[in-house]
Amino acid sequence: MTRKQRRLTLIGAAGFVLALAVGLVLFALNDQIVFFYSPTDVAAKDIAAGTRIRLGGLVEEGSLEKGGGGAVSFAITDAHNRMNVKFVGILPDLFREGQGVIAEGTLDADGSFKADSVLAKHDETYMPREVADVLKEQGVWQGEGEKTTQ
């Protein structure tokens, strides 16, 4: 093979791998991403039951109920709309009523939300970014409390 042919082989191989990667990424982005919604979005958007989404907002005060075998239910609210969430498992350490939370799962036909994971990645000075945005949109954002980072 001449130098030119070898270079063409190399470029061909690189092009093939690149095309493969692009194809896989486009396919996966079309199919495998999960959108984040607030309860108000869900009410407005008419999302089909069974669609996988992330639902974020505040855990409604007094809504947490514990059943047997680790089953819990609570409501996520953004002050304008609320949604009931069902979950089986151990809630994260930072899960509290009145605090920000993100639940990932699917909508049930009865309009409640079946979560398979619940995230409460925040501490006293930090709220999940998406949840903070939801609250700002709904006009109930209270600032970041006693946040003191300089």
Partner 1 sequence: MSEGFSIAELGHYALILALALSLVQSVFPLWGAKTNDARLMGVAPAAALAGFGYVAFAFAALTAVYVSSDFSVVNVWENSHSAKPLIFKISGVWGNHEGSMLLWVLILSLFAALVAVFGRNLPKSLLATVLAVQGWIASAFLAFIVATSNPFARLEQAPLEGRDLNPILQDIGLAIHPPLLYLGYVGFSIAFAFAVAALIDGRVDSAWARWVRPWTLAAWMFLTAGIAMGSYWAYYELGWGGWWFWDPVENASFMPWLAGTALLHSAIVMEKRSALKIWTILLAILTFSLSLLGTFLVRSGVLTSVHAFATDPTRGLFILIILVGFIGGSLALFAWRAPVLRQGGLFAPVSREGALVFNNLFLVAATATVLVGTLYPLGLEAFTGKKISVGAPFYNLTFGPLMIPVLLAMPFGPMLAWKRGDLAGVAQRLAAALVAAALAVVLTLVLNGVDNILAPLGVGLGIWLIAGAIVEITDRIRLLRTDFATSWNRLKGLPRSAFGGLLGHAGIGVSVIGIVVVTGYQSETITTLKPGETAKIAGYELRYDGAAPRAGPNYREDVARFTVTKDGGAPIIMESAKRFYEARNSGTTEAAIETVWFSQLYVSIGEWAADGGLVVRAYYKPMVTFVWLGALVMAFGGLVSLTDRRLRIGIAQRARKRPSRTQAEPAA
Minimum gap (Å) between residue 68 Cβ and partner 1: 6
Could you say whether residue 21 binds partner 1 (CB under 8 A)? yes
93 binds partner 1 (CB under 8 A): yes
- What's the min distance (Å) between Cβ of 73 and partner 1? 14
Indicate whether 148 belongs to the interface with partner 1 (CB under 8 A). Answer: yes
With CB under 8 A as the contact rule, the residue among 49, 51, 62, 70 that binds partner 1 is 70
141 touches 127 (CB < 8 A)? no
Exactly one of 10, 44, 49, 140 binds partner 1 (CB under 8 A); that residue is 10
Q: Is 114 helix (H, G, I), strand (E, B) or coil?
A: strand
Cβ proximity to partner 1: between 33 and 48 the closer is: 33
- 1 versus 109: smaller Cβ distance to partner 1: 1
DSSP letters of 63-108?
Answer: --EE-GGGEEEEEEE-SS-EEEEEEESPPPTT--TTSEEEEEEEE-
CA–CA separation, 63 and 83 (whole Å): 11
> From the list 4, 46, 48, 69, which residue makes contact with partner 1 (rule: CB under 8 A)?
69
Of 129, 136, 140, 145, the one binding partner 1 by CB under 8 A: 129
Q: How far is the CB of 107 from partner 1 (least distance, A)?
A: 16
Helix, strand or coil, per DSSP, at residue 52: strand
How many residues interact with partner 1 (rule CB under 8 A)? 46
